[in-house]
Amino acid sequence: MTIVGARPQFIKAAPVSRALAAGGMREQIVHTGQHFDVGMSDVFFDELGIPAPAHHLGVSGGGHGAMTGAMLQALEPLMEREAPDWVLVYGDTNSTLAGALAASKLHIPVAHVEAGLRSFNRRMPEEQNRIVTDHLSDLLLTPTDGATQRLREEGIPDARIVQVGDVMFDAALYYADRAAERSAVLAQHGLQAGAYILATVHRADNTDDPERLRAIVDGLEAVAAEHPVILPLHPRTRAALGRHGFALARVRAIDPVGYLDMVALERHAALIATDSGGVQKEAYFHGVPCVTLRDETEWTELVDLGWNRLAPPTRADIASEIRHALGTTGRGGRPYGDGNAAGRIVAALAPRQAYQ
């Protein structure tokens, strides 16, 4: 049973679902509903070729406690009825935590894809979700050397850890050609390859804090006077801009885009400014410099390699950081594996369970 609920999880699940099917395993996908609108959910299933969810819980909105509690309430009887051999969870969202917690209490083995990441900022809900999920999980599927080492430092035995690489790298390799063939997003918005900046902003730390959001808006607006800046606008960010009374004048805000359009925008950007963990990595996969609009990152290897730089809102001059990063490149390396993480995940699951 695969538990997903948010855009990054759909992307990560796509290569794993293909590998599970190729390995003769039966997968049942449960969509919690955390990302519920068509632009943030349905289009990803269509474009990525993910099997339709067997169950849709319809849980969205509300605070962390209400959302996670509603997911738990819905998942527990579903898991009891379906009795999966494994529950597979991804990343660090409320859907991740609810899936791991529900399965653990029912003594169903949990496998966590993207285990071992740490930002070392306990104020982030995602950090809390990661830590709890890792320590509930029976099989920790790590993407990097650093993630593996952090789990060991936290006392998790090697027998529960398998370093597989990053499934988002699998997806980037698989879908790059498809995006080139099918996406017309640059032409649609009059963008020239290599001549614009792509921005994404969605984290609650940035959208809910007027000072941080103001710093990001001002920085992007200043850069947009010099280079086109395009911002696929997350529903949370759109609402926050209205709530705080912040207007975008030069920045070109567009509706959320599907995965193939996002890949095209990322591949051809001169620079990406983002607070998304997944987009930081996608920038690296496509050889595009990145400025991360956060105080820290769980993907520290990208900073070490010079592909990414941190620009904490309110403490850094966002526009200056973007200007300095334009045209830069980092060092080589393969921190995320060789693009076969999904195959290693299936191999890690198979010896632990006899499939019919």
Q: 292 forms bridges with which residues in the sheet?
A: 274, 310
Return d(Cα 269, Cα 311) in angstroms, integer: 19
Catalytic site residue from 31, 35, 112, 202:
202
Positive or negative: CA dihedral 283, 288, 289, 291: negative
Q: Which long-range contacts (CB under 8 A, 24 or more apart) does 314-318 make?
A: 314/211, 314/212, 314/215, 317/219, 318/215, 318/216, 318/218, 318/219, 318/220, 318/222, 318/223, 318/273, 318/291, 318/293
Q: Tell me the DSSP string of 136-198.
A: H-SEEEESSHHHHHHHHHTT--GGGEEE---HHHHHHHHHHHHHHHH--HHHHTT--TTS-EE
Tokens representing 353? Answer: 């369970």
φ, ψ for residue 110 (rounded to 5)? -115, 130
Mapped onto helix, strand or coil, the DSSP state of residue 116 is coil
Q: Catalytic residue at 112?
A: no
Distance, CA of 241 to CA of 230 (rounded, Å): 16
Coil, strand, or helix at residue 263? helix
SS (H, E, C) 22-77: HCCCCCCEEECCCCCCHHHCHHHHHHHCCCCCCEECCCCCCCHHHHHHHHHHHHHH
Measured distance CA(299)–CA(117) in Å, rounded: 8
The residues that are catalytic are 202
